[in-house]
Amino acid sequence: MKSLIFIISIISILFFSSCKDNNPTEPSFSISQEINNARPISNIFIYMDSGNLRFGKDPSTDTPFKDAYAENGYFIVISNVSNYYFNLSLAKQVYIYENNVSIYY
């Protein structure tokens, strides 16, 4: 009888220790991954209290850019003039629609 209880205890321990707690509220993708999945990015809108920035293909209204991607928690925009770095952890909201990215600070 003691050996049966021992065997059942061992099986129970193995069964319950193999169960993982799946947290469905954890996002499956990070913001950086979602931004990089939207590449090539067509338009970028950065909304800040101090002013707004707009990057796009229309040189009359937009700042032209060569490339944009997310890396190490930053959204990096490479333009003809300079590179722009935006800290994604400080962003209040990030919207990604097709190949457009909008970031609100």
Nearest to 45 by CA among 86, 7, 13: 86
Most confident of 8-17, 26-35, 86-95: 86-95
Residue 97 lies in a domain: yes
Q: Print the domain residue range for 82.
A: 31-104
H/E stretch holding 17 reads helix 2-18
pLDDT for residue 26: 53
How far does Cα 16 stand from its chain's mean position? 33
Residue 87 lies in a domain: yes
Give the count of domains, the chain: 1
Cβ distance 71 to 83 under 8 Å? Answer: no
Phi, psi (rounded to 5 degrees) for 37: -70, -20
How confident is residue 85, by pLDDT bands cut at 50, 70 and 90?
Answer: very high
SS3 90: helix
Residue 47 lies in a domain: yes
Pull the structure tokens for residue 47.
Answer: 């909304």
